Amino acid sequence: MKITCNQQILSKTLNTVSKAVSTRTTLPVLKGILLEAKADGSLTLTASDLEISIQKTIQVNVEEPGSAVVVSKLFGDIIRKLPNEEILLEQAEDGSILIKTNSSEFTVVSLPVDEFPKVSDQEEERDHLVFDAEIFKDMVKKTSFAASLDESKGVLVGVLTEIHPESVSMVALDGYRLAISTEKMTSAEDNHFIISAKIINEISKIIAEDGDAEDVEIYLGKKKATFRIGTTEVVLRLMEGEYIKYRDIMPTQSTTDIVIGRAILQESIERASLLAREGKNNLIKMTIKNNLLTITSRSEEGNVREEIIMEKEGEDLEIGFNSKFVIDVLKVIDDDEIVMHFLTGTSPCMVKPVSGDAYEYLILPVRIPTM
């Protein structure tokens, strides 16, 4: 193998592909990136941790086709530190890789190509979906934060995607909050799949880094899915298991409804949480009375009180929340105003848009201790 390529293009590609490199493995080859140079002038870089594989192709000058596996961290660090100019990569007879620029020269060992896992879905595809790239990123942002971090909770560490003939929804929940994002999309038939929140966040980052991709193509199999984003291909395992019937846990009625400015509510809770962090459960108390929402928090360090004017329909109410769970929701919403629905001081709160159903959030309350 002998090629020349631009440092910046190669560095950016390594940054994308290395997201699939395994950091915890006893197999040395999984810490590597496969380089495949072809006579047509293409260089394909591939990494895999057996759960997710990322492959990206760039155009280079190929003098001698060939393939090699390089240690991802060392090779990536070297390429990133080199100046922005043409780089020569050449494989010696002993398998080592020469990395050369006008003023620098490195030689690094390579790993056995035949031990690198074959990246192929080799599976009959059930469905082909096309997402708008920006919509996909936005839906991931609005939901993935609510997925569980506890691996023992099975599919709850994932994000559920539900495809309907005229809409698509992403859903995540961890037992304390539930997040749903819905957008219009036309599909031939109903479908659903679950992807680990960690992996779907990486896909979202790849879309952001690509910059040019307008669409995300998804090819679904029974156990795997392939995502195509520009010249990047991601093959991943779908999570297996039955997702919770989340609609069953959502309140269908309320006794108190408020319309309130999202930004001012977020800022007030963030200030109140400075003291809430010093106590237990990041506890803040919301008191809804007439057209005033009062947010209070107290700890051994002191106490805080914030007041916000709002629009209210229904009864007055007192309810406690973990401030982090409310802030997490408010941070991913772009609307100027939101609607909050309450049933009792010990029932879940629902957060929705003023009109439409682009998002729905359920937040469990925290019992307020008697003072």
How does pLDDT run across 16-48, given as a tens digit for each residue?
Answer: 999 999 878 788 899 999 999 999 999 999 999
Two tokens, residue 47: 């990494």
Two tokens, residue 271: 């200030």
Q: How far apart are CA 342 and CA 363, in angstroms?
A: 10
Using DSSP, how many helices (H) and how many strands (E) does the chain show?
A: 6, 27
| Residues 133-168: tens digit of each pLDDT | 999 999 999 999 999 999 999 999 999 999 998 999
**pLDDT value for 147:** 97
Q: Which ranges of 6-124 does DSSP label H, i.e. alpha helix?
A: 7-17, 72-81
Q: How far apart are CA 176 and CA 362, in angstroms?
A: 8
Per-residue DSSP letter, 32: E
Residue 332 backbone dihedrals phi, psi, to 5 degrees? -100, 0
Closest C-alpha to 234, from 15, 371, 46, 14: 46
**pLDDT value for 300:** 80
pLDDT at 301 over 90: no
Q: How many CA atoms lie within 13 A of 105 on its CB side?
A: 2
Closest C-alpha to 27, from 116, 95, 121, 120: 116
Per-residue DSSP letter, 285: E
**pLDDT value for 124:** 59
Average pLDDT of the residues of the chain: 92
| Residues 255-294: tens digit of each pLDDT | 999 999 999 999 999 999 988 765 566 899 999 999 999 9
Prediction pTM value: 0.90
**pLDDT value for 118:** 84
**For tokens 């059930």, what's the residue?**
126
How many residues are present in the chain?
A: 371
**For tokens 């982090």, what's the residue?**
324
Split at pLDDT 50, 70, 90, the class of 122 is low
The arithmetic mean of pLDDT across residues 349-360, rounded, is 96
Q: Give the rounded percent of residues in the chain with a pLDDT score beyond 90.
A: 82
**pLDDT value for 22:** 84
| Residues 53-97: tens digit of each pLDDT | 999 999 999 999 999 999 999 999 999 999 999 999 999 999 999
| Residues 1-21: tens digit of each pLDDT | 999 999 999 999 999 999 999
Angle between helices 323-332 and 262-276 (to 10 degrees): 150
Closest C-alpha to 181, from 370, 307, 361, 359: 359
Q: How many CA atoms lie within 13 A of 63 on its CB side?
A: 9
First to last CA, the chain: 74
Q: Which residues pair with 57 in a beta bridge?
A: 44
